[in-house]
Amino acid sequence: MSIPPPTHSDEELHRLFTGACTAQTEGRLAEAMDNYLLLLKYFPEAAMLRYNLGLVYYSLENFTAALGEFSTALAIRPEDSDTLFNLALCQKKTGDSAAAIASYRRLLQAMPDHADGWYNLAGCYRDTFADTQAISCYKKVLALDGAYLPALNNLAYLYHRGGDTQQAEVCYRQVLALRPKDDAAHYMLGSLLGTPLDRAPDAYVQHFFDAYAEGFEKSLVDGLGYDTPRQLFACLLGCTGLQDMQKQYTQGLDLGCGTGLSGIAFKEIVTVFDGVDLSANMLAQAAAKGCYQGLYQDSISQFLQTTTATYDFFLATDVFIYVGALDDIFTGLRAVARPGAIFCFSTETLGSSGYQLQQTGRFAYSRDYIHNIAAVTGWTVMTGKETKLRKEKGQWLAGDLWILQLQVRDE
């Protein structure tokens, strides 16, 4: 038998609601949630309570619960645009891009001047590689607000991704006209124009992956056929002769760990695994994988300069494409490496000598460059194997898998 809720006077219920709203505004989310849940026992059909509770759940990153509350609120009040907008946000967060697209379309049919609606709809299309539709939506955003910088940045990115370098250049220059000190736009424009650059700005890498973290892993694996971590793991087994999955390395460091795909591939052979990445949003996804003991938001170079830990295993899959010159990193790794440490990484292949920033905004490396930089910084190349990294415009991108070992110092 269910126990009826305690009786509250109208005045007490009003205080509960006011207190819940205040707690929500001030960030005391658990208190707000408890008050809203109590009020819903009295007013289960109150759309405002459902909506506010949905916002609390969303702030707590309980997107499934938020989705349920927004759905209920919308059923009670079908024409409420704010509820529909937040419902679409939750549908995207829970991985249902198709439902999110339908919700944004429904919203925009009623409110065609809703710039944020067009922007978020574009993001759904972008993350599912429906670039034509995404570009159309970003253009609608800019028609409503020509200074909407995130839309302009994304439009430049999509033109760049699709190979329309002329339109991409136009958009990057428009970004710089609005924000002259935008490091990311300067960097990407430089890649288009063939400007010699030694490294990617930390701000560019951080902002790029913070923005795309949510759908990054799915689009990389499902959309582009990415399988580098597993390939690199097989390369390590073949190179070292390891036959089982027992712990072979005491402490490992995943450089630019991203969402943790590489950590999953290698976790069985590393006792303690740390990860470092510039993107807080990527690190949040890596934490959910459960394969890292320590996760650090930092640049690779800065982390290597400040850490007091030492490692016998290093990993860097599809990381150096956003780095450039590698001498500082290879030297920094040696400084924190234990005797005989192993270093596994991948690179995009450059047909000419040295390393070079491509029009894609990524760095590629010649095999001679890797051999030379390894020798200079005290690493021995155990193997360098050609591979297919991922698809780009329907074609496989050529790359190399590398296994290095720290040279033993002479006594």
At 205-220, the pLDDT tens digits run: 888 888 776 767 776 7
Asked if 167 contacts 143 with a C-beta cutoff of 8 angstroms, the reply is: no
Structure tokens of 3?
Answer: 């126990």
Mean pLDDT of 146-154: 94
Give the pLDDT confidence of 159-172 residue by residue, as tens digits: 998 889 999 999 99
- Provide the pLDDT for residue 209: 85
As beta bridge partners, residue 4 has none
- Structural domain spans, the chain: 10-193, 209-406
Report the number of secondary-structure helices (H) and strands (E) in the chain. Answer: 19, 9
Task: Identify the CA nearest to 122 among candidates 95, 142, 147.
Answer: 142
128 versus 300: which is more confidently predicted?
Answer: 300
The topology (CATH level 3) of 10-193 is: 1.25.40
Q: Closest Cα partner for 171 from 201, 192, 144, 202?
A: 192
Q: What percent of the chain has pLDDT over 90?
A: 76
| Mean local confidence (pLDDT), 129-156 | 95
The average confidence (pLDDT) of the chain is 91
* pLDDT confidence band for 244 (50 / 70 / 90): low
**Which pLDDT score, from 0 to 100, does residue 246 have?**
67
pLDDT of residue 94: 93
Q: What is the pLDDT of residues 299-338, one digit of tens each?
A: 999 999 999 999 999 999 999 999 999 999 999 999 999 9
Where does the pLDDT of residue 272 fall: very low under 50, low under 70, confident under 90, or very high at 90 and above?
very high
Confidence of residue 391 (pLDDT cuts 50, 70, 90): confident
Question: Residue 285 has which token pair?
Answer: 């996804």
Domain 209-406, CATH number (from 3.40.630.30, 3.40.50.2300, 3.40.50.150, 3.30.1390.20): 3.40.50.150
- The pLDDT score that the predictor gives to residue 270 is 94
Candidate from 60-74, 107-121, 195-209 with smallest mean pLDDT:
195-209
Q: What is the pLDDT of residue 5?
A: 55
| The domains spanning 10-193 and 209-406 adopt the same CATH topology | no
Backbone dihedral angles phi then psi of residue 129, each to the nearest 5 degrees: 60, 25
